[in-house]
Chain A
C-alpha cells in the first residue's frame, strides 16, 4: 500500500494524489427524515492506482461515486481532484471538470442510439470545444485503442454488448482524463464479455491510467489492486491486494 499523507483541513494534497476526500459527508433531506448517505469518508487514491469500491446497497458507494464524478456536491468535507479542490465549485466549473478530468463508464453504456460509434466517442470533445477534424482523429484513435477501429460507423444497435461497452470506454478515455470512473461496468454483460472488459481495464491500468470502479461483485473487484469497502456511509475496510 502506498504511503498516505496525514491530511488536515487546510492542507494541500501531495502532487501524485489524484483523489483525496477528507471527512466527506452527504446528506439528503427527504422531507420527513434526513438520510445521511456518507458520514465522513476520507480516502486518498494515487496516480495509476486501480481501485474497486465495494459495499452492499445503501452503503453509500453510489453517493461516493457521484461525488468523485463531480455529478454531486458534498454536504461537508473536502474533495480534491488532481490537485484542485472541487468540493466547492459551481455548476459550470463542475461540468468542465467532468469533461476534462473524468471518464465515465456506466453499467448501461449510455450511448446515443442514433449516433454511430465515432460520434458517440466524439461527444466529450464537442463540449471541450475541439475542432471537427481533430475530434474525429482523437475519437478514431480512442476506438482503435479499445479494439474497435473497424466498427466506427456502426450504431449501438449494430454492436454487441461488449462492443458497446468498449465504445463507452473509448468515449471515457478520449479526453485523456485523470480517472476512469466505472459504475458496475460488467453489470449488463455475460461473464465472458465481462472478463474481456476487465482485461481491457487491466491493459489501461498497465499503460498508466488511474481506474476507480464501483461494483458489488467480489469477482470483479478482485481485478483491482486495492479494494475499499463502505458500510453505512463510512469506510469499513481499505485493503491492497497482492499484485
Chain B
C-alpha cells in the first residue's frame, strides 16, 4: 500500500472517530501551542529588554561612569561592601573626561534621590529628583511636551528651574498649566519651565514620577554631598565611537585614581550590555524551563495516542484480519496504523501552531511585550508533533502487524 493510501485511510478513520481522535491530539496540541507561545514570549521579553528596557535606562550608544553598576542582580554582600568602599565620582572627574575625550560625544551629569515635591498644599511623594546638566534630556531621549528644558547657562548658574515628569505635573496641577508656577523641592521654590512627554511604564514601574533640575541648583545638596555625582553620562554617535570613548575615559580615570596596571578599576563604565546579559540569563532559564513543559505535555500526548491506538488495534482486530486475508502484508498494516497515529499527532501539532500564534497575537495586544512567533519554533513544533505520532504509533502498529489473520478473523 503506498504511503498516500495509508495517509488517506488515516484521515478517514480520524474523521469517523472525531471525539476519540480529538482527545488523543489534545496532548500534542497543548505541547506545541505552549512551545510556540512560550518561545514567542521569551523572544518578546528578550527584544523588550534589549531594545526598550536597556535603552530607556541607558540610552543608545551611551555609557555611564559610576561607582558601581546601576543594574546589579544577585550580587553577594562581599561585592556590595567592596563597591561601597570605592571612592565616589567627583565633578572634577566628569570635567577631566569631558576635556580629555577626543571622540565627539554628548555628556551629562546625573544624581538622583527620592524627594517630596509640593505645590501649595498639594504634595507628590517619592518623586525621583534628578540633578542633571542640560544634555541629560537629549541623552535620555526625553521629549518635552510643553515649555522647554533648561539651558546650559541655567545649569551653570544653578538656576532654580524645574522640568516635571508627566505624572508629577498631573498630580500637582491636574489639568491646569504648570508652566511658570512655583513648586517647592526641599523647601526651595523652583519655577516650572517644562513638562516631559508621557513615558509610560516598564514592567509595571512608572517612568513619569520624576523632576529634573540643574545639577548646580540648590537641590544638589539633597541628593549628594558637595562635588559628588552618581553618574557621568557619555553618548557617542555610534557603537565603535562609544567603545573608543570608553577606553579613553577608562585611561583618564585610572590616571586620576593612580591605579597601577595590575589593579582593577575602582569604578565602572556601565552600558546596557550588563542589563542585556542579565536578561539573556533569564531568557536562558525560560529556554530551559519551557522545553520541560513541552516535553511533559508531548510525552503525555504520546502516551494518550499510544493508548488510543492500542484501543483502535483491539477494536479493529477483525478488520486487520480481513485486510491480511485480502493480501495486506505486515508492513502494510504497520504503515496504516503508523500513518494514523502520525496524522493524529500532526493534526494536533497544526492546531497547536495556530493556537500558539493566536496566543502570541493576544499577548501582543494585551501586554507591552512585543512577542513574535519564531519560524524555528513552528518548524520544531511540526517535527516534534509528527515525531510523537511516530514514536507513539510504533508499538500499537507492530502489534497490529503481527496479528495472526486466522485468530484476528475469528475475533468477535
On A, residues with C-beta under 8 Å from B are 66, 69, 71-72, 91-92, 95-96, 98-100, 104, 106, 110, 112, 114, 123-124, 126-129, 171, 175
Contacts and interface: CB of A to CB of B under 8 A. Distances in A.
What bracket does the count of chain B residues touching chain A fall in?
20 to 34
16 contacts: A71-B324, A92-B330, A95-B329, A96-B327, A98-B327, A99-B326, A99-B327, A100-B327, A104-B325, A104-B326, A112-B319, A123-B326, A126-B1, A127-B1, A127-B328, A129-B2
Contacts of A104: 325-326
A27 B331 CA distance: 28
Given A110-B322, A127-B328, 20 more contacts: A66-B406, A72-B406, A91-B330, A92-B331, A95-B327, A95-B330, A95-B332, A99-B326, A99-B327, A104-B326, A106-B409, A110-B409, A112-B319, A112-B322, A123-B323, A124-B327, A126-B1, A127-B323, A129-B2, A171-B326
Contacts of B2: 129
B75 interface: no
A114 B406 contact: no
A46 B244 CA distance: 101
Interface string B306-346: 00000000000011001111111111100000000000000
A99 B329 CA distance: 10
B239 interface: no
A69 B319 contact: no
Interface in B6-35: 12-13, 16
A1 B29 CA distance: 68
Interface string B154-191: 00000000000000000000000000000000000000
B5 interface: yes
Interface of B: 1-2, 5, 12-13, 16, 318-319, 322-332, 405-406, 409
A58 to B, nearest CB: 15
A36 B189 CA distance: 116
Nearest to B331: A92
B315 to A, nearest CB: 11
A91 B399 CA distance: 15
Nearest to A110: B322
A72 B324 CA distance: 12
* Smallest CB-CB A-B distances: 7 pairs: A99-B327, A127-B327, A95-B329, A124-B326, A110-B322, A92-B329, A71-B405
Contacts of A92: 329-331
A96 B409 CA distance: 18
Nearest to B325: A104
A95 B324 contact: yes
**Binding site secondary structure of chain B:** helix
Nearest to A101: B327
Nearest to A69: B325
Nearest to A95: B329
A6 B212 CA distance: 118
Contacts of B319: 112
Given A114-B12, A123-B326, A128-B327, A71 B5 contact: no
A214 to B, nearest CB: 14
Contacts of A69: 325
A196 B409 CA distance: 25
Nearest to B16: A114
A214 B328 CA distance: 23
A154 B156 CA distance: 96
A72 B408 CA distance: 13
B11 to A, nearest CB: 12
Nearest to B4: A132
A148 B255 CA distance: 104
B5 A126 contact: yes
Contacts of B331: 92
A127 B326 contact: yes
B194 to A, nearest CB: 77
Contact of A110 (B1, B5, B318, B327): B318
B3 to A, nearest CB: 12
A98 B325 contact: yes
Contacts of A129: 1-2
A96 B325 CA distance: 10
Contacts of B16: 114
B81 to A, nearest CB: 77
Contacts of B12: 114
B63 to A, nearest CB: 70
Contacts of B328: 95, 127
A98 B406 contact: no
Nearest to B324: A95
B14 to A, nearest CB: 12
Contacts of B13: 114
Nearest to B328: A127
A91 B406 CA distance: 13
B153 to A, nearest CB: 88
A92 B329 CA distance: 6
A106 B406 CA distance: 12
Contacts of A98: 324-327
Contacts of A114: 12-13, 16
B110 to A, nearest CB: 76
Contacts of B318: 110
B316 to A, nearest CB: 9
A128 B329 CA distance: 10
A17 B329 CA distance: 27
Nearest to A106: B409
A166 B409 CA distance: 19
Contacts of A99: 326-327
Nearest to A111: B322
Nearest to A62: B406
Most buried by B among A69, A100, A114, A171: A114
Contacts of A95: 324, 327-330, 332
B326 to A, nearest CB: 5
Nearest to B15: A114
